[in-house]
C-alpha cells in the first residue's frame, strides 16, 4: 500500500461521524471521553502518536461511564494507527469493535469496521480481498442511509480500484465521495478525495493532470496546517515528477516529504520518501547515493506490514545492484519484487520490474533469460497499455460535459494523441526487442510476432476511433461514413434517415448531474438498438442526438419506425434516477432522393426535427426529398 491513500484515515471519518450522532448525548454522560475521542481524531492528521494517546485515554475514561458509540470510534482510531505498525494489535481493536456493535446506536459504524478489515487485507497484499471488503462497506453504508460512512467507503474503494487498474469505476467512486463530502461540508476529507482523483490520473498515465491535482491539494493542506497530509501529498507529487522524468523536482518533493515524516516520527512515510530519493539516484546513475538511501529506507520500513513498500524498495535495490554490476544480487532482488507485484496485480510496477530484470540479464550476458524477461515486459506493458486506453476512454464522459457538442473535436484530438502515444510506445518496445532478438539469434520468429501484435493493436485503435466511448454505438464519424458510402452506390436503393433528440435533456444534467445524464444516454442507446436491426444501424452524433440509417426504406416506412422508437424511449423506467419526470425524444425523418448527399439529408432531417420540436416535442415529423 502506498501512503497516497492515508491523507485522511477512515478513523477520522468514524470519529467525526460519531461526533454528529452520539457526542451530544455522550457529553452529558462522559464529557471527558467525548473530548478525548475528539482530540484523537483531530490529531491523527497532525500527530499520530498523540492521537494514539488520546484514544487510549478515552478508553480508560469509558471504563467508568461506558458509551458504545464512543468506544467503537476510539477503537477504530487505534485500528488505523496500529494497522501500519502491528496487524495483530489492529485485529484486536477490530474484534473489540465487533463485540460492541449489538449495543451501538449508529449501525453505519459497521461499515467503519469493514474498512479497517479491508486496510489490513491491503497491507497484507491481498488486494482483491481488500476491494471486496471495501465494496461490502459501501453497500452496507448505502443501505443504512449513512452518507458520511458511504463517502468514506467510496473513497477507499475508489483507491483500491485504481490500484487494480479499474480506473473508470475508481474515478466514479472518488468523484461521488468528493460530492458527498462537499454536501456534508467536510472540507478536509473533500481535499483527500481530490487526492484520490489525482492518484487515479497518475495510474492512468496522465501524470501532468495528476500533478495539477496534487498541487491544488497541497495548498489546502498547508493552509490547514495538516503536516501529515503535506508529507503524503508531497510524496505523491514526487511520484508524478518521477513518472515524468523530472528528477530535480522529484528529489525536492521527496526531500520535503522526508523532512516532515521525520519530524512527525512517521517511519513508514520516511521509508516511502527514501525509496523515492533512491529512484532519483538510480535514474541519474548514482548507485552509491541510491544504496545509502535504500539502507535507510529498509531500516525505516522494518516491521511495517506493507508488502508493496518492501517490494518497491527491492525494485530500486535491484536497479542499484545492476549499476554496480552485482548481477546475481540484482536478479535475486528483482525476482522477489516481481513475485509481490504479480500477486497484487500491480501491472505498472510489475512492468518496471521485468524491464529492470531484462536489462540485468542482458548485461550479465544471459541473452536467453534477457529475452524471456523482455517478452514478459512486453506482454505486461501491452496489457497495462490497453487497460489504460480502455479505462481512459471510459472516463472521458466523467470529465466532459455531454451537452457541449463543440467539445467533440477535443475528444477526437485526445483519442488521436492517446493512439499516437500508444503506437510510439509500441515502436519503442519493438526496437528494444529487436536488439534482444538479434543477440538471441531468433530474429525471424520475433519479427513475425511483432507483425501480429502491431496488426492487432492497429485494428483495436481503429475500432476505438469509430466507437462512441459512452454508449458503445458508432460515433458521428462512423455513422456518417456509412451513410456517405450508401449514398455513393451507383443506382443504389433508397435510404431513410432519422435524427432523434432527447427532450429537455439539459435540465436533467443540471439538476441531477452528468453521471445520471450519462446513464440515461446509455439506456436510450440500449432502447434504440433493441428495435433497430441490420442492415439498419444507429449511431450517436453528439450530445443527446442519435442518427438511425435505414437502407432500402421509404419515407412512410421510416416514419413508422420512428414512431416505434419514440414509444420505446418514452417507456424507459426512470425511477432509478428521479420520479418527477420521464424521458421523451423528438424525431426528424427524411428519405433520400436522386443526387442527395450526406449534408442534404442531414439538413432535411434537422428541419423535420425542428418541426417536431415546434409541435411540442415527443413526436415524429417528416420532410420529403
Are 500 and 565 spatial neighbours (Cβ–Cβ below 8 Å)?
Answer: yes
Least confident of 242-246, 249-253, 337-341, 417-421: 417-421
Q: Is residue 84 part of a domain?
A: yes
For residue 422, the model assigns a pLDDT of 61
pLDDT band at 188 (very low <50, low <70, confident <90, very high): confident
pLDDT band at 549 (very low <50, low <70, confident <90, very high): very high
Least confident of 23-32, 143-152, 231-240, 358-367: 23-32
For residue 550, the model assigns a pLDDT of 94
Across the chain, mean pLDDT equals 82
Distance CA 476, CA 466 (A): 8
For residue 26, the model assigns a pLDDT of 37
Q: What is the CATH number of the domain that holds 157?
A: 1.25.40.10
Check whether 164 has a pLDDT greater than 90: no
Check whether 200 has a pLDDT greater than 80: no
Distance of CA 584 to the CA centre of its chain: 33
Three-state DSSP at 344 gives coil
CA-based torsion, 234, 345, 311, 283: positive or negative: negative
pLDDT band at 302 (very low <50, low <70, confident <90, very high): confident
C-alpha cell read off for 564: 416505434
C-alpha cell read off for 430: 519493438
pLDDT band at 435 (very low <50, low <70, confident <90, very high): low
* pLDDT (mean) for 531-557: 93
Distance CA 273, CA 238 (A): 9
- Domain extent, residue 613, equals 476-623
Q: Is residue 618 part of a domain?
A: yes
For residue 17, the model assigns a pLDDT of 42
Distance CA 235, CA 255 (A): 9
Three-state DSSP at 548 gives strand
Which tens digits make up the pLDDT trace of 554-583? 999 999 999 999 999 999 999 999 988 899
Q: Which residue has the higher pLDDT, 407 or 460?
A: 460
Q: Is residue 57 part of a domain?
A: yes
Q: Is residue 425 part of a domain?
A: no
Check whether 98 has a pLDDT greater than 50: yes
For residue 588, the model assigns a pLDDT of 96
Q: What is the CATH number of the domain that holds 619?
A: 3.30.70.270
* pLDDT (mean) for 193-201: 80
Q: Is residue 403 part of a domain?
A: no
C-alpha cell read off for 585: 425524444
For residue 9, the model assigns a pLDDT of 40
Q: Which residue has the higher pLDDT, 459 or 503?
A: 503
Query: Where among 177, 204, 231 does a domain terminate?
Result: 204
Distance CA 589, CA 612 (A): 10
For residue 620, the model assigns a pLDDT of 96
Q: Point out the residues that are catalytic.
A: 544
For residue 454, the model assigns a pLDDT of 59
% of the chain with per-residue pLDDT over 70: 82
* pLDDT (mean) for 5-23: 41
Query: Where among 161, 189, 204 does a domain terminate?
Result: 204
How far is residue 48 from each of residues 41, 229, 250, 327, measured CA to CA in Å?
9, 12, 26, 41
Instruction: Among 125-139, 365-379, 557-571, 591-605, name the most confident range.
Output: 557-571
* pLDDT (mean) for 59-67: 90
For residue 460, the model assigns a pLDDT of 66
* pLDDT (mean) for 64-88: 88
pLDDT band at 373 (very low <50, low <70, confident <90, very high): confident
Q: How many domains does the chain have?
A: 2
Q: Is residue 517 part of a domain?
A: yes
Least confident of 213-222, 333-342, 435-444: 435-444
Q: Does this model's pTM top 0.85? A: no
For residue 445, the model assigns a pLDDT of 65
Check whether 397 has a pLDDT greater than 60: no
Distance CA 115, CA 138 (A): 9
pLDDT band at 406 (very low <50, low <70, confident <90, very high): very low
> ω before 506 within 30° of 0 (cis)?
no
Distance CA 221, CA 190 (A): 11
DSSP string, 549-587: EEET--HHHHHHHHHHHHHHHHT---TTT-SS----EEE
Q: What residues contact residue 142 under an 8 Å CB cut-off, 6+ apart? A: 150
For residue 431, the model assigns a pLDDT of 72
First to last CA, the chain: 64
Check whether 617 has a pLDDT greater than 80: yes
* pLDDT (mean) for 182-201: 81
Query: Where among 153, 186, 204 does a domain terminate?
Result: 204
Q: What is the dihedral of CA 278, 279, 284, 286, to 10 degrees?
A: 30
Instruction: Among 40-49, 491-500, 555-564, 571-580, name the most confident range.
Output: 555-564
Q: Is residue 195 part of a domain?
A: yes
Give me the half-sphere count of Cα atoms (radius 13 Å) on the Cβ side of residue 444: 0
DSSP string, 39-67: HHHHHTTT-HHHHHHHHHHHHHHHHHS--
Distance CA 143, CA 124 (A): 29
Q: Is residue 151 part of a domain?
A: yes
Check whether 206 has a pLDDT greater than 80: no
For residue 380, the model assigns a pLDDT of 80
Amino acid at each position: 500500500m502506498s501512503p497516497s491513500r492515508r491523507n485522511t484515515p477512515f478513523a477520522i471519518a468514524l470519529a467525526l461521524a460519531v461526533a454528529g450522532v452520539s457526542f451530544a448525548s455522550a457529553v452529558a454522560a462522559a464529557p471527558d471521553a467525548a473530548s478525548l475521542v475528539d482530540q484523537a481524531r483531530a490529531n491523527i492528521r497532525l500527530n499520530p502518536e498523540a492521537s494514539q494517546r488520546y484514544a487510549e485515554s478515552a478508553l480508560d475514561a469509558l471504563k467508568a461511564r461506558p458509551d458504545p458509540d464512543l468506544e467503537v470510534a476510539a477503537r477504530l482510531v487505534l485500528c488505523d494507527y496500529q494497522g501500519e505498525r502491528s496487524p495483530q494489535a489492529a485485529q484486536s481493536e477490530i474484534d473489540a469493535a465487533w463485540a460492541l456493535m449489538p449495543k451501538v446506536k449508529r449501525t453505519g459504524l459497521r461499515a467503519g469496521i469493514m474498512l479497517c478489515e479491508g486496510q489490513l487485507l491491503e497491507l497484507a497484499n491481498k488486494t482483491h480481498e481488500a476491494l471486496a471488503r471495501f465494496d461490502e462497506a459501501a453497500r452496507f453504508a448505502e443501505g443504512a442511509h449513512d452518507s458520511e460512512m458511504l463517502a468514506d467507503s467510496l473513497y477507499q474503494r475508489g483507491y483500491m480500484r485504481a490500484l487494480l487498474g479499474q480506473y473508470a469505476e475508481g474515478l466514479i467512486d472518488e468523484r461521488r465521495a468528493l460530492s458527498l463530502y462537499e454536501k456534508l461540508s467536510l472540507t478536509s476529507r473533500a481535499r483527500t478525495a481530490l487526492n484520490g482523483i489525482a492518484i487515479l490520473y497518475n495510474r492512468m498515465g496522465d501524470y501532468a493532470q495528476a500533478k495539477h491535482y496534487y498541487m491544488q491539494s497541497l495548498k489546502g493542506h498547508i493552509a490547514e496546517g495538516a503536516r501529515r497530509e503535506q508529507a503524503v501529498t508531497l510524496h505523491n507529487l514526487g511520484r508524478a515528477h518521477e513518472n515524468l522524468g523530472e528528477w530535480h523536482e522529484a528529489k525536492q518533493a521527496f526531500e520535503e516529504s522526508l523532512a516532515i515524516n521525520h519530524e512527525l516520527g512517521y517511519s513508514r512515510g520516511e521509508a516511502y520518501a527514501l525509496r523515492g530519493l533512491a529512484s532519483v539516484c538510480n535514474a541519474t546513475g548514482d548507485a552509491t547515493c541510491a544504496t545509502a538511501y535504500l539502507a535507510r529506507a529498509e531500516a525505516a520500513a522494518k516491521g511495517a506490514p506493507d508488502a508493496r513498500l518492501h517490494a518497491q524498495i527491492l525494485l530500486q535495490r535491484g536497479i542499484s545492484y545492476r549499476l554496480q554490476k552485482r548481477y546475481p544480487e540484482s536478479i535475486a532482488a528483482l525476482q522477489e519484487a516481481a513475485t509481490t507485484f504479480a500477486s497484487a496485480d500491480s501491472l505498472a510496477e510489475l512492468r518496471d520490474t521485468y524491464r529492470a530484470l531484462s536489462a540485468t540479464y542482458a548485461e550479465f550476458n544471459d541473452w536467453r533469460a534477457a529475452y524471456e524477461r523482455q517478452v514478459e515486459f512486453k506482454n505486461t506493458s501491452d496489457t497495462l497499455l490497453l487497460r489504460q486506453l480502455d479505462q481512459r476512454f471510459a472516463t472521458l464522459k466523467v470529465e466532459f460535459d455531454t451537452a457541449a457538442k463543440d467539445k467533440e473535436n477535443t475528444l477526437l484530438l485526445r483519442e488521436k494523441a492517446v493512439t499516437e502515444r500508444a503506437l510510439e510506445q509500441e515502436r519503442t518496445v519493438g526496437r528494444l526487442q529487436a536488439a534482444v532478438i538479434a543477440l538471441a539469434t531468433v530474429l525471424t520468429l520475433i519479427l513475425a510476432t511483432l507483425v501480429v501484435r502491431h496488426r492487432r493493436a492497429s485494428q483495436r485503435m481503429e475500432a476505438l476511433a469509430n466507437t462512441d466511448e459512452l454508449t458503445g454505438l458508432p460515433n458521428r464519424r462512423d455513422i456518417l461514413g456509412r451513410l456517405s458510402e450508401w449514398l455513393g452506390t451507383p443506382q443504389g436503393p433508397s435510404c431513410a434517415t432519422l435524427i432523434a433528440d432527447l427532450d429537455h435533456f439539459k435540465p436533467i444534467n443540471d439538476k441531477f448531474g452528468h453521471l445520471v445524464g450519462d446513464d440515461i444516454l446509455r439506456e436510450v442507446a440500449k432502447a434504440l438498438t433493441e428495435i433497430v436491426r441490420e442492415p439498419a444501424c444507429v449511431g450517436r452524433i453528439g450530445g443527446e442526438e442519435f442518427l438511425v440509417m435505414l437502407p432500402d426504406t421509404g419515407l412512410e416506412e421510416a416514419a413508422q419506425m420512428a414512431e416505434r422508437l419514440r414509444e420505446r424511449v418514452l417507456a424507459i423506467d426512470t425511477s432509478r434516477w428521479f420520479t418527477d419526470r420521464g424521458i421523451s425524444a423528438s424525431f426528424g425523418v427524411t428519405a433520400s432522393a436522386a443526387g442527395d448527399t450526406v449534408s442534404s439529408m442531414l439538413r432535411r432531417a434537422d428541419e423535420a426535427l425542428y418541426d417536431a420540436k415546434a409541435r411540442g416535442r415527443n413526436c415524429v415529423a417528416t420532410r420529403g426529398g
